[in-house]
A and B are shown apart, each in its own frame.
Chain A
Amino acid sequence: QQQVKQSPQSLIVQKGGISIINCAYENTAFDYFPWYQQFPGKGPALLIAIRPDVSEKKEGRFTISFNKSAKQFSLHIMDSQPGDSATYFCAAINQGAQKLVFGQGTRLTINP
């Protein structure tokens, strides 16, 4: 119940294309869904996050889509650039808990 399942494990997209990474969860008590971005040799850093009271959040080329009934959320990267090549982690947390539950990670490669 505490798991967050992320797919795909790896993804290759051409420059200018749309990258889509999906996550699914079971615990309906989760109420905060962040995405973290990790470049090689660095720790993960918060990219964008959403609360379940909205269905979509956009920041620049990055969009989170949230489907509460399906218990799924996804990250869309529009106009993907080589500089977006990184590992992406989805995560979830519920109020009262103080630890994030992370997905397995997606290694994204954007080909120039």
Chain B
Amino acid sequence: DVKVTQSSRYLVKRTGEKVFLECVQDMDHENMFWYRQDPGLGLRLIYFSYDVKMKEKGDIPEGYSVSREKKERFSLILESASTNQTSMYLCASSLGPGLAGFLLAYEQYFGPGTRLTVT
């Protein structure tokens, strides 16, 4: 089974703090994603990475940055946390294009989420 783990389930930070959210996957997946989940807004993509050291902005990248130094690890960084970044953060991974069939390549596996509260 694919396992995606996130470093914390719950996190409370103060406004202005630098926040690191870590995500690790154990299936050698090419693609990794960071989403935030807010009621009524669904899952909104913050950043994704399709290879080590490669990243692309998603729909809401403002106020966030990411780092992928190793294939299995994808970090989300809040440079200066603000109260409007209070949310559930979900990491996901997918196999990515290649020899696998289309459906297998793009199925995303999610971690359990980190509920971040910024006070």
Interface set of A (CB-CB < 8 Å, partner B): 6, 9, 32, 34, 36, 41-46, 49, 51, 89, 93, 95, 98-100, 102-105
Contacts and interface: CB of A to CB of B under 8 A. Distances in A.
B48 A89 contact: no
Given A41-B113, A43-B90, A44-B90, 10 more contacts: A6-B42, A32-B103, A41-B112, A43-B111, A44-B43, A51-B103, A93-B106, A99-B33, A100-B106, A100-B108
B61 interface: no
B75 interface: no
A11 B84 CA distance: 28
Q: Is the interface of A mostly helix, strand, loop or mixed?
A: loop
B74 interface: no
Contacts of A99: 33, 45, 48, 58
B107 A89 contact: no
A98 B102 contact: no
A98 B107 contact: no
A102 B42 CA distance: 7
Interface in B16-41: 31, 33, 35, 40-41
A112 to B, nearest CB: 24
B92 interface: yes
